[in-house]
Structure 1
Amino acid sequence: MSKFTEMETLRKEIEAKTRKLQEMEQENFDVNGIWEFTTELDCEGRRSRHLGRYEGNLYDGIKLHGSQCYYSLRCKRVGFLSSINSKPRKKSVCFSIEDNSIKLFDKQDQLEKLKLSVPDGHNLKESNQFGCITLEWEK
């Protein structure tokens, strides 16, 4: 079998599997996905406001954005989560604290004051960003 014949065979297999996947997605609702949340801005519903994007369980996204809605939330699937990539992955955010009890942009002071209140499964460390520390967690 030549490389070109093999490539054509693979294309046909991919097209067939893509059609099958689309049929299955239309027949079966998966609450896990990538969701965008919007709400109306006025009582007529003529304008809307984008509230954010959420990756994960639809119900968790609804709870996250529920307090920001006017009358109701609009939940739109914009993607699917791959079970191949569903293993826990590390997430992190660099941030700084502005508060009277913490010296401005002092990484060590921020770490010292926050270390006692770090939730389980989370870690604080110095960041390479000016005046910031990093919060890491498993998702």
Structure 2
Amino acid sequence: MSVYSEMETLRKEIEEKTRKLQEMEQENFDVDGVWEFTTELDCEGRRSRRLGRYEGNLYDGIKLYGSQCYYSLRCKRVGFLSIKNSKPRKKSVCFNIEDNSIKPSDKKDQLEKLKVSVPVGHTLKESNQYGCITLEWEA
């Protein structure tokens, strides 16, 4: 078998699998994906405002952007999550607290005061950013 005939065979397989995937996507709704959220800016709905893009479960995106909508949210799928991306993955955010009860930029004081209120499935640790700590969780 020549390289060219093997390439042609691969093209046919890709076309067939692409067609089958499109049929499956049309028949089955997957709440996990890449979503873009918009809302109307006026009561006639002539203008809209982009609220943001969310990768994950549709319902989580609705909860995230729901407080920013005018009358309603428009949820548009702009992509699908790959199997690799749909597995839980660690997320983290570095932050610092400005409050009278916490010494300014003191990582250990922030950790000490916040450790009693960390939600289940979340962890706090020191950050490499000045005066910051890191919140980690699986998403």
Please tell me the TM-score bracket, short chain as reference. 0.7 to 0.9
Number of equivalenced pairs: 139
Aligned partner of 2:65 in structure 1 is 65
My pick for the range that moved more, 90-99 or 54-63, is 54-63
User: What SS does the aligned partner of 1:104 have?
Assistant: coil
By how many angstroms is 1:18 displaced? 1.2
**Aligned position for 1:19:** 19
Q: Deviations over 1:60-81 (max 9, x none)?
A: 2222222221111010101112
The 5 Å alignment of 1:35-114 reads 35-114=35-114
Gap regions ≥5 residues in structure 1: none
The structure-2 alpha-carbon separation of the partners of 1:26 and 1:109, relative to structure 1 and needing over 3 Å to count, comes to: same
C-alpha deviation, 1:84, in angstroms: 4.1
Residue identity over aligned pairs, in percent, reads 86
**1:130 aligned onto 2:115:** no
Cα distance in 1, alignment partners of residues 63 and 88 from structure 2: 22
Q: Report if aligned partners of 2:39, 2:49 keep a CA contact under 8 Å in 1.
A: yes
Query: Secondary structure of 2:54's match?
Result: strand
- Distance between the aligned counterparts of 1:2 and 1:109, measured in 2? 69
Once residues 19 and 54 of structure 1 are traced to their aligned partners in structure 2, the CA distance between those partners, rounded to angstroms, is: 27
Q: Could you report, residue by residue, the CA deviation over 1:36-59 in whole angstroms, capped at 9, with x for unpaired residues?
A: 111112222222222222222222
Tell me the TM-score normalised to structure 1 length. Answer: 0.88
Amino acid at match of 2:88: P
